[in-house]
Homo-oligomer: A and B are copies of this chain.
């Protein structure tokens, strides 16, 4: 009695997984992409994608920073930032102003409109946080966060020594 693919439910797979699920790297990638998918939905009400919003948040936290600062903070190449910054400027969520001290660089600042977008979306983001840490105790939650920070540091270390 053979089932079609669509007749198989989630827990009813073709064969058992072996060790894929036990790989932290695999699981991080998997969960990361699910998070992005959900964030896309939430952030679409202000017209931003997850990456763009995270840049907006970083600018908000680092008043009057340069793009090179952001590249380092977000762990991306400076060229990656260009279209994101462009998008945020076009939506008038941030303001660029040439630095007096350095003619090559631009100060980036969140505008009131950008602040409003952040505020508008925060309740949903907090609800999202609640969802993903649903069945966890406060202790578990902070352990998870700490582990994630450790993984991040290990990855950054590894990256810089190559």
Q: Which residues of A contact B (CB under 8 A)?
A: 2, 4-6, 8, 10, 13-18, 20-39, 50, 54, 57-58, 61-69, 72-73, 75, 101-102, 105, 125, 128-129, 131-136, 140-141, 143-145, 147-152, 154-156, 158-159
Sample (10) of A-B pairs whose CB atoms are under 8 Å apart: A5-B68, A24-B132, A24-B145, A25-B35, A27-B145, A28-B31, A31-B32, A31-B148, A131-B158, A144-B148
* Interchain CB contact under 8 A, A17 and B145: no
The answer to whether A29 and B25 have CB atoms under 8 Å apart is: no
CB <8 Å contact, B154 and A14? no
Query: How many copies of this chain does one complex carry?
Result: 2
Q: Verify A34–B65 contact, CB threshold 8 A.
A: no
A14 touching B75 by the CB < 8 A rule?
Answer: no
Judging by beta carbons under 8 Å apart, are A31 and B135 in contact?
no
Q: A28-B31, A34-B159 are in contact. Are A154 and B140 (CB under 8 A)?
A: no
